[in-house]
Structure 1
Amino acid sequence: MPPLPADDIKAWLSGRDEGAAKRLMEALHPRVSGIIRRHWSRAEEWEDLEQEVFLRIFGALPRYRQDVAPLEHWVSRITLNVCRKRWRSQSRRPEWRWSDLGEGEQQVYLDARQADEPLKEVESREARSLMYKLLDSLNADDRLILSLFHLEEKSFEEIASLTGLSQVAVRVRAFRARKKLHEALRKLEPGENSAT
């Protein structure tokens, strides 16, 4: 994220410079957009989430304290909280069956079964699609922790800082979430749930 001139923040807060808000949004957009796209599988909702994040950022900006957290961290936390709130608001978590997967996703699954760490190599579109379907079956907190750890390669310490949980709680939740993910993978076994 490019450095934000403190003058832009001060100008926007004082109402002296109408262009300051636009410059702030342009500077923050790549970070916000990147986080949303990594953590949210439905592209049709990305713009809505971005708007909600910017409303929260501009609403909270007068209370932002640089001595507490760098702006980059603060923006990341707001963005992740908006995503988590949206996940929680969804009433059901889907359970996927073998027949729900496309041919490419089925092949990715079969290949991933052979791998030591299935979440490590998520390169192709089919692999990402399968991964998001499996992550969608987790609750919001579990999904957030696994996404931060495996997709953004954050340490447990960084995840604890972003989520407000202790490092021990993050480790325990990550372990339990991986267990749930393995269970969701097991339920996908061809033949077990292949009814159409």
Structure 2
Amino acid sequence: MDMPLDAQSDLDDEVLLVRFANGDRDAARALTLRLTPRVLAQATRMLRNRAEAEDVTQEAMLRLWKAAPDWRQGEAKVSTWLYRVASNLCIDRLRRAPQVALDAVPEPEDDAESAEERLQGDARMAALDAALAELPDRQRQAVILRHIEGLSNPDIAEIMDIGVEAVESLTARGKRKLAELLKGRRAELGYTDG
């Protein structure tokens, strides 16, 4: 029996996935509405290309729906599994894609209210994107998942198929490198002390 979407919003991801596997289309809609924006954000940050990120997100969600009937409860969190699938799809695309000059990457979209705020936000995002692009792939992935997506170190370890200590090391080295790359640009990027 299908439940209204608002009644499903309190259900755990795994419960929704099992309900979808048992024919509950509203559960699929609720899970899609919950997970798609997060996966799309992750893929967009990794690929720095909205269209490619949308393709990856769609493919990751399709893989989730295909895995639903065989989902083994309690083995992995649905969101962690999905982040890992999306990460792997992004890495595959990055390996196949020709390298593009940073100037050829479009500026990220920003919903800031004023032109000045929008320009400042664009400058900050461009600086962060450029600095992230300088990191080795594994460091960039760990930093994005930890500090931009807000995932825990154990979840990141599962996604990247490494130990928690390796995640901590990757994120620490990545943060140090980002700080080094962005050092001296605080005033330029509109940050003031105090």
TM-score (norm 2): 0.60
| Cα distance in 2, alignment partners of residues 124 and 43 from structure 1 | 18
Q: RCO greater where, 1 or 2, for CA within 8 Å and sep 6 or more?
A: 1
For residues 66-105 of structure 1, what are the structure 2 equivalents within 5 Å? 66-92=73-99
**Alpha carbons of 1:91 and 1:63: their partners in 2 closer, same or farther (altered >3 Å)?**
farther
From 136, 139, 148, the equivalent of 1:139 is 136
* Conserved 8 A contact 2:42-2:145: no
| Cα distance in 2, alignment partners of residues 18 and 74 from structure 1 | 21
* Conserved 8 A contact 1:87-1:139: no
Question: 2:59 is matched by which residue type in structure 1?
Answer: E
Q: 1:59 corresponds to which residue? A: 66
Specify every segment of 5 or more residues in structure 2 that has no aligned partner in the other structure, as ranges: 1-7, 108-119, 186-194
* Conserved 8 A contact 1:134-1:181: yes
* Conserved 8 A contact 1:84-1:144: no
Q: Secondary structure at the match of 2:135?
A: coil
From 147, 151, 160, the equivalent of 2:148 is 151
Question: 2:56 is matched by which residue type in structure 1?
Answer: L
Specify every segment of 5 or more residues in structure 1 that has no aligned partner in the other structure, as ranges: 103-122, 189-196
Q: 1:191 corresponds to which residue? A: none
| Cα distance in 2, alignment partners of residues 90 and 68 from structure 1 | 33
For residues 1-196 of structure 1, what are the structure 2 equivalents within 5 Å? 2=9, 3=11, 9-10=17-18, 12-13=20-21, 21-22=28-29, 24-92=31-99, 124-178=121-175, 181=178
**Alpha carbons of 1:176 and 1:91: their partners in 2 closer, same or farther (altered >3 Å)?**
farther
RMSD over aligned CA atoms reads: 3.8
* Conserved 8 A contact 2:84-2:159: yes
**How big is the shift at 1:128?**
1.1
* Aligned residues with identical type, % of pairs: 27
Question: 1:47 is matched by which residue type in structure 2?
Answer: E
* Conserved 8 A contact 1:160-1:167: yes
TM-score (norm 1): 0.60
* Conserved 8 A contact 1:93-1:137: no
CA offset digits 1:19-78 (Å, max 9, x no partner)? 765554344323323333444422232321221212222232233222112323322332
